[in-house]
Amino acid sequence: MVEWSDQERSIINSIFASLDYEDIGPKALSRCLIVYPWTQRYFGGFGNLYNAEAIKTNPMIAAHGIKVLHGLDRAVKNMDNIKATYAELSVMHSEKLHIDPDNFKLLADCLTIVIAAKMGTAFTADIQAAFQKFLSVVVNALGRQYH
């Protein structure tokens, strides 16, 4: 069981309460596809990913980024039981989407960097630690049901 301090819970809830999903979602996903181009392998049907500019302005990628970011909402609401909460999603990512779980960490790192850019100096070391702890639990849970 993952132990969360009151401060960590407060940090995570605060970040997500003020999150602009329509801004951050597209930025995080497009950054992942640009910084780690091999992740584009999962987006064959998403149209033009030919260069960074195309990725940044691709509406299908933007919509998908928002969808993925909202996927974190259930983890925020169920911080004490993320593993069970994501069991079905993990199965789906394995059996239907066939995503290499290493990719989850790449997207998590990009999301951290996009949030850092948005919050600036307000994104302190303690906040970074709590946010990364949250994302690593999510990443773990999503990879848990692979076999």
Partner 1 sequence: MSLNKTDKERVKAFWSKVAGKADAIGAESLARLIVVYPQTKTYFAHWKDVSPNSPNVKKHGKTVMGGVADAVTKIDDLKGGLLSLSELHAFTLRVDPANFKLLTHCILVVLAAQFPADFTPEVHVAMDKFLAAVARALAEKYR
Chain residues in the site for partner 1 (CB under 8 A): 30-31, 34-35, 52, 55-56, 109, 112-114, 116-121, 123, 125-126, 128-129, 132
Q: Looking at beta carbons only, is 30 or 90 nearer to partner 1?
A: 30
CA–CA gap between residue 110 and residue 29 (Å, rounded): 8
Q: How far is CA 106 from CA 6, 17, 41, 90, in A?
A: 28, 24, 14, 17
Q: In the complex, what is the shortest distance from the CB of residue 88 to partner 1, in angstroms, rounded to a whole number?
A: 30
Q: In the complex, what is the shortest distance from the CB of residue 12 to partner 1, in angstroms, rounded to a whole number?
A: 15
Q: In the complex, what is the shortest distance from the CB of residue 111 to partner 1, in angstroms, rounded to a whole number?
A: 11
End-to-end CA gap in the chain: 22
Q: Is 36 helix (H, G, I), strand (E, B) or coil?
A: coil
CB 60 within 8 A of CB 40: no
Instruction: Output the six-digit token pair for 135.
Output: 């994302």
Q: Looking at beta carbons only, is 112 or 140 nearer to partner 1?
A: 112
Instruction: Output the six-digit token pair for 69.
Output: 């970011």
Q: Looking at beta carbons only, is 9 or 133 nearer to partner 1?
A: 133
Q: In the complex, what is the shortest distance from the CB of residue 40 to partner 1, in angstroms, rounded to a whole number?
A: 13
Q: Looking at beta carbons only, is 47 or 77 nearer to partner 1?
A: 47
> What size, in residues, is the chain?
147
